[in-house]
Structure 1
Amino acid sequence: MILTGALILDALMGEPRWLWSRIPHPAVIMGGAVQAADDGLNRGDHRRARGVLAIALLCLAAFAVARIIAWIPLGPLPELLVAAILLAQRSLVDHVTAVATGLRQGLGDGRKAVAMIVSRDTAAMDTSAVARSAIESAAENMSDGVVAPAFWFLVAGLPGLVVYKVINTADSMIGYRTPRHAAFGWAAARLDDLANLVPARLTAVLIAITSGQLRAMPAIRRDAAQHRSPNAGWPEAAMARALDVALAGPRSYDGRMRDFPFVHPGGRRDPDADDIDAAVRHLWRTWAAVLAIAVLSTVA
């Protein structure tokens, strides 16, 4: 019941600016905790061991906070509200839709909108590159922002969801192979890979089912194996098949072009704003499938 209500509340309300302009969002608090761990522990020798300690402390703190919330004597309401805040369906849809809207206004507006949701270089993107980036972000964040949090809530309640979110936040901040974080962020990156192992594949299956592409799962599995990420390739490959477009492929980071292979290379290479809109429709269908699972879990 709590997860069902949280999914619906998030889909209806999203991230109300009037609220988060006045108080810090939990994601911001988590980011601050990760930054504090990075500042305090990422120094000296034994950086990998220090990184293991950091992610362990962050997970323990997240678990403790979630347990305290569960003990608040207001029934299921506190857990429902926190779960809704940590789900990201509405904000994901809004950000991806903004890219389609921007492209229809002009390529420059599309580039600005997509730069809000991807880390790659956007200044020289053409229309197809902007659309492809938005669709990839939609698929990957459907897994990270909706399916995975819902999955871990079903597995371990609010503590499971909150611990997952702090792991995912840590990976997004320190899980990079840079000189500063290659050793210290190793544990966060590997734990995030493990936490997303099942949700990423579940997301691919749900996209495939709701788009009538379940028979393409063997091809989706092959395409996912070409992706540089052990998990992100699954929802991207499923979305590529659902739209019949080629995703991933070459892109630029920090001024350097990276020659990544295409996911579903036989798909169309010229996606546009209409394809972004179609991807958003698939996001809602996948969300509906997650909602159905949440409802069924309450009566099982």
Structure 2
Amino acid sequence: MMLATAMILDAIFGEPDWLWSRYPHPAVVMGRAVAWLDTRLNTGANRRDKGVLAVVLLVIGAWALGSVIAWVPDFGLLEVLGAAILLAQRSLVTHVQAVAQALREGGPPQGRAAVAMIVGRDTDDMDTPQVARAAIESAAENLSDGVIAPAFWFLILGLPGILIYKVVNTADSMIGYKTERHAQFGWAAARLDDVLNWIPARLTAALIVLAHGAPALWLRVPNDARLHRSPNAGWPEAALAPVLGVALAGPRSYEGQMQDFPWVNPTGDRTLGADHIDRAVRALWRTWGVTLALILGVWVLF
């Protein structure tokens, strides 16, 4: 019941500016911890071993903090509030919907500016379909990373579990990229993030398919998911693409280099726009609703 309450609180309130403009968001604090370890440890020799140490310290710290908060005799209030803060359904929907609004109000230039807030690829030369596709892909991936995976680990391990997941996910987003500086030091963060997302990514895909009453689509999801460069991100994309009837992934540019990734659901519509983003947002809420209903159903039964 705590998880269901946290999901509802997150969906209603999201990340209120009046609060996080005054105090650092937990994700910001996690980012500062990762940056501090990166500065102190990512030097000299044995950088992979030092990266392992950094991840171990982050996990121990998250576990300790979560355990202390869970120990406080407050009938679970702090755990519920902590989980609500660390879930990101409302925030995700807000950022994705902003891309559709920007496309409608200012065409590709404003759309590029909005989508640059949520993707890591080059956006300077994107046209409208590319902007929309990037927004929808971000919606699919972040439904898993920002909603289903945190909820899953809270359900399994309580507040320590969701804190561990979030700090590892934050570390992966900061040091997990295979840049020259982080190729060795970020190895452990990237691999552990893959492990922690393995079940949630596949669960997210299943929930998307279930929410849209299209079980036959599941037969296509594994094959399309394997086309993705990520072992996990391809699963929610491979489920959302046929649900929306669109093609995702495909060629895109990183750091000025065009990369020819295969299409997911290649026969889907490629002429995407703001309306397709709106449909993706509705799919996010629909999947969220089915997830909440399942959690409540399990709670009632057991």
Q: Name the TM-score class by shorter chain.
A: over 0.9
Cα distance per residue 1:245-295 (max 9 Å; x no partner)? 100100011111111111111111111111100000110011112212321
1:57 corresponds to which residue? Answer: 57
**Unmatched tracts of structure 1, length 5 or more:** none
2:241 corresponds to which residue? Answer: 240
Structure 1 SS opposite 2:220: helix
Q: Aligned partners of 1:133, 1:116: CA distance in 2, in Å? A: 11
Tell me, yes or no, if the aligned pair for 1:224 and 1:237 is still in contact at 8 Å: yes
State the 1:296 CA deviation: 2.6
Q: Aligned partners of 1:47, 1:293: CA distance in 2, in Å? A: 43
Cα distance per residue 1:32-80 (max 9 Å; x no partner)? 0111111111111111111111101100000001111112232211111
* Counterpart AA for 1:4: A
Q: Aligned partners of 2:52, 2:86: CA distance in 1, in Å? A: 24
* Identical residues among aligned pairs (%): 63
Tell me, yes or no, if the aligned pair for 1:213 and 1:241 is still in contact at 8 Å: no
Matched, 1:271 2:283: no
Q: Aligned partners of 1:51, 1:216: CA distance in 2, in Å? A: 40
Tell me, yes or no, if the aligned pair for 1:138 and 1:283 is still in contact at 8 Å: yes
2:118 corresponds to which residue? Answer: 117
Query: 1:85-100 to 2 correspondence within 5 Å?
Result: 85-100=85-100
Q: Aligned partners of 1:290, 1:56: CA distance in 2, in Å? A: 31
Q: Aligned partners of 2:202, 2:133: CA distance in 1, in Å? A: 21
Q: Aligned partners of 1:253, 1:202: CA distance in 2, in Å? A: 29
TM-score normalised by length of structure 1: 0.98
Deviating 4+ runs (over 6 angstroms): none
Tell me, yes or no, if the aligned pair for 1:147 and 1:203 is still in contact at 8 Å: yes
Cα distance per residue 1:123-169 (max 9 Å; x no partner)? 11010000000000000000000000011111111111110000100
* Counterpart AA for 1:57: L
* Counterpart AA for 2:2: I
Aligned residues: 300
* Counterpart AA for 2:163: V
2:148 corresponds to which residue? Answer: 147
1:26 corresponds to which residue? Answer: 26
Q: CA RMSD in A?
A: 0.8
Q: Aligned partners of 2:221, 2:274: CA distance in 1, in Å? A: 24
Structure 2 SS opposite 1:196: helix
